[in-house]
A = this chain, B = another copy of it.
Amino acid sequence: MDQPAVGDVIGEMMRDAYAVRTGIGPRPLAGGRVPRPVIEIIERDDGLINGAPADHYLGEPAEWQPHDHRALRLCRGHVLDLGCGAGRTALELQRRGQAVTGLDTSPGAIEIARRRGLRDTVVTTIDEYARATARYDTFLLLGNNLGLFGGAERAPVLLAALASLANPGARIIAQGTDPYGTTDPVHVSYHERNRSRGRLGGQLRLRYRLLATEWFDYLQCSPAELETLLKGTGWQLKSIDDADRPYYLAVMELTP
């Protein structure tokens, strides 16, 4: 059986989801005639595979989860929206008159974000972008993008990149998911397996139609584990809002 090619999974998916929602661009069809739903597929390194409708990536504020609204109220100054995708949250900040830059590694996602009106965008990795001269007051990681912290090896590298882009008093606002509320043996045994390998997260890749991403570490951790990851990075956990458990909002600040 053929292996899927590595490509711009997020971009292709966003383009299709955008076409379904707006009627702009070719809509995905089954048999050339009937609408096909746009489903994001997430594969985990133990063989678990899950699908979820992709439309929420284009959700208007009225469709958001409550914690997304609370997160935006915490933004101040110049905002860098990391993994901004099709611009869901960055567009709303822009509408509110806030200075906001959308960063994503997916050219296709940024193309959709720009088509939807997002003005300030960057297609690159945060590691590359850390060499830029721009400075930010808020780093925003919504839509589970606390996962981009990766794990014990990746987190300090990412946090150093953010520190080098930070104005004094800058904060990170990140939405994560606490994975430990489940008793599902599929998940409990996976957590055990990861811990026995000295890992917090687990590897996953995204697939869409013919494309896959590379496998990458994506962190699901508890607030307590997050606090441990921050040690020695210069970033300090200021608050946890877990009103929408298992989802939570973490605010981190750069200590002077």
Taking the closest CB of chain B, its distance from the CB of A194, in whole angstroms, is 13
Known: A45-B2, A246-B34. Is A51-B29 also a contact (CB below 8 A)?
A: no
Known: A30-B177, A32-B187, A48-B209. 6 other contacts (CB 8 A): A4-B47, A31-B177, A31-B245, A32-B180, A32-B181, A39-B51
Complex CA distance for A1 and B177, rounded to whole angstroms? 23
| Copies of the protein in its oligomer | 2
* Interface footprint category on A: 35 or more
**Shortest distance between the CB of A93 and any CB in chain B (Å):** 25
Instruction: Provide a sorted-by-A list of 11 A–B residue pairs whose CB atoms are within 8 angstroms.
Output: A1-B215, A4-B49, A29-B182, A31-B179, A32-B183, A32-B184, A32-B187, A34-B247, A37-B53, A40-B51, A49-B207
A186→B243 CA distance, assembly (Å):
44
One digit per residue, 1 when the CB lies within 8 angstroms of any chain B CB and 0 when it does not, for chain A 161-184 equals 000000000000000011111111
Nearest chain B CB to A188 CB, angstrom units: 10
Chain B residues closer than 8 Å to A127, beta-carbon distance: none
Q: Does chain B have a CB within 8 A of A52?
A: yes
Q: A72: which B residues are within 8 A, CB to CB?
A: none
| Chain A interface residues (CB < 8 Å from chain B) | 1-5, 29-34, 36-37, 39-41, 45-53, 177-184, 186-187, 203, 207-210, 215, 245-247
Q: Which of B3, B39, B247 contacts A50 (CB 8 A)?
A: B39
With contacts A39-B50, A41-B49 taken as known, whether A33 is within 8 angstroms of B1 at the C-beta atoms is no
Please provide the 10 A-B residue pairs with the shortest distance between their CB atoms, ordered closest to farther.
A31-B246, A39-B51, A32-B182, A51-B51, A32-B181, A4-B47, A2-B47, A1-B45, A33-B246, A49-B207
Q: How long is the Cα–Cα vector from A32 to B222 in the complex, in angstroms?
A: 13
* Most B CB within 10 A of own CB, among A1, A46, A246: A1
* Neighbouring B residues of A209 by C-beta, 8 Å: 48-50, 186
Closest to A244 in B: B34
Residues of B within 8 A of A41 (CB): 41, 49, 51
How far does the Cβ of A256 sit from chain B's closest Cβ, in whole Å?
Answer: 35
**Beta-carbon contact of A47 and B184 below 8 Å:** no
Within the complex, the shortest CB–CB distance from A118 to chain B, in Å, comes to: 27
Given contacts A179-B31, A184-B29, A184-B32, contact A37 B49 (CB under 8 A): no
